[in-house]
Amino acid sequence: MRFPPPAIEAVMTAIKNRWCWRKDLSECRGVAQRDREGFLMTLEWFENFRLRREMPAGRAAARLFWREEVLREGVDREKWQLEQWEAALQWYLEWLAACAEAGADHRSLPERVRAAVRSAGSRLGLARRTKLCYSGWAARYARFAGDQRAAMEVETATRFLTSVVEDEDCAYSTQKQALNALAFFFKKVCGVEDPVFGVKLRKTAAKVPVVLSKEETRRLFAKMEAREARYALAARLQYGAGLRLMELVRLRIKDVDLQRGTLTVRAGKGDKDRMTVLPKSLREAVARQIEAARAVWLEDREAGLAGVWMPNALARKLRRAAEGFEWFWLFPAMKTAVDPATVGSEGAPEGIIRRHHLHDSVYNRAIKRAAAAAGIEKGVTSHALRHSFATHLLEGGTDLRRIQELLGHEDITTTEIYLHVAVGVSGLGVTSPLDESGECGAGSGESGSNQGCALI
């Protein structure tokens, strides 16, 4: 599908009013030729940083970049490096001021496409992670397209999706993500009512989940207590309640019922609520964690910090609830940070500083370090604890339908995958004929104790 001439003319007019800092840097007479390479390296570094933090270009992003990247603790910088990097950022800020004065758009095509998709997603009430997913795919597509005119053609999107399906070894769900993201982009951003992508997705086999044995979970938790004590309770709770990673870190005080022994998962996968079990063995530890969180909450209130993040509708309806303890995180972050969703907002152009929850990637890395220290030679991530929860329940005789409810699976076929990894009466329920034969050291007597197996 191609756009009519008026649409193309509008695109070309908009292109004329866009500036590119890379092009202008290469032609700038005020920067010596020997300094351009250093400026380019510095500004690419800065651009990657601010885009990763979802911050608009400007002095606020430059200050944060200087504080967190350039002056990073434990890293020594040479004087000439600091001078060159400062000069590069100063040139960039002056270039931004010139853009603003001329009314030009300084953003690259991927950044503009990313912003447009997020804006449309916010307008239509998409979940934040859905907006991040769709905008990420759209920005990647924009880089593939190369220019705005090509990016607005369905044929270009078809070529991009074909390359994802045929050239990349990605799961079927990933292919669907890419397709849905581009469909959203064309419908809600470009105004194409019914884009038809001539691409057929490739089915991929479901992967068997990584499951820890009960002995391995004990070893993992022992290493967590010894080496990663700050995250030990979170790991035990994730395993004991079968939580997804984001469900764990987003737990709020009000979601914990110590008396009834339950946890309430709010807006889980598919934006659904559910209840799961709070292990009896963890109730005292969770109660202590609540009091530790209360101390952090009191410090934040005394410091006059903004309340925690709230879903948009509730933030409008319950304006003071974000400062209440019941909405505070069960696992709060150690440090405060700028809320990226508020950067550039009215009254707070540099963003609102607030207390976020424990960062998912920080917790996940702690799990991996503890697994390596425990000598567990599997691809262990935090999600392996959820898989282990389901598998161990199944092996213990818990009904598959009940496990489905605890995990929050919409379709029981998703839960049935644990039948392939469970062992025992409720799992595989099979004894190998080799074990019954008593051969190769598995049986009793001389053949089992004194003889080895020759492997061919």
In a domain, 119, yes or no: no
Question: Residue 448 pLDDT more than 60?
Answer: no
| Active-site residue (options: 244, 355, 357, 392) | 244
- Please give the Cα distance from 275 to 265 (Å, whole number): 6
Per-residue pLDDT band for 138 (boundaries 50, 70, 90) equals very high
* pLDDT value of position 329: 97
Please indicate whether residue 244 is annotated as part of the active site.
Answer: yes
Give the integer Cα–Cα distance in Å for 424 and 439.
22
Can 200 be counted among the known catalytic residues?
no
Q: What is the pLDDT of residue 244?
A: 96
Q: Is residue 126 part of a domain?
A: no
Q: Is 174 exposed, middle or buried (0-12, 13-18, 19+ CB in 10 A)?
A: middle
Identify whether residues 236 and 385 lie together within a single domain. Answer: yes
Active site residue 357: no
Residue 78 lies in a domain: yes
Element (H, E) at 19: none
* Dihedral sign computed on CA atoms, order 140, 144, 146, 151: negative
Specify the pLDDT at position 176.
95
Find tokens 């053949």 and name the residue.
447
Report whether pLDDT(11) > 50.
no
Query: What average pLDDT does this structure show over 28-50?
Result: 90
In the annotation, is 269 catalytic?
A: yes
Taking alpha carbons only, the member of 226, 141, 233 closest to residue 181 is 141
Please report, for the domain that includes residue 408, its CATH number. 1.10.443.10
Catalytic pick among 269, 283, 356, 369: 269
Mean pLDDT, residues 192-215: 90
Both 281 and 400 in one domain: the answer is yes
Q: Total structural domains in the chain?
A: 2
Q: Look at residue 290 and tell me if it is in a domain.
A: yes
The token duo for 399 is 């009904």
Query: Which of 140, 227, 356, 383 is flagged as catalytic?
Result: 383
d(CA 46, CA 197): 36
Cα–Cα dist 235/386, whole Å: 10
The answer on pLDDT for 439 being more than 50 is yes
Name the percent of the chain lying above pLDDT 90.
58
Range of the domain at 274: 211-430
Closest of 201, 160, 208, 211 to residue 182, by C-alpha? 160
Q: 82 and 218 share a domain?
A: no
Q: List alpha helices for 256-359, DSSP H.
A: 283-303, 312-317
Kindly name the residue from 112, 357, 386, 392 that is annotated as catalytic: 386
pLDDT at 409 over 70: yes
114: in domain: no
pLDDT band at 3 (very low <50, low <70, confident <90, very high): very low
Tell me if 276 sits within 8 A of 241, measured CB to CB: yes
CA 435, 436, 440, 444 dihedral sign is positive
Residue 413 belongs to a domain: yes
Instruction: Encode pLDDT of 268-314 as tens digits.
Output: 887 889 999 999 999 999 999 999 999 999 999 999 999 999 887 78
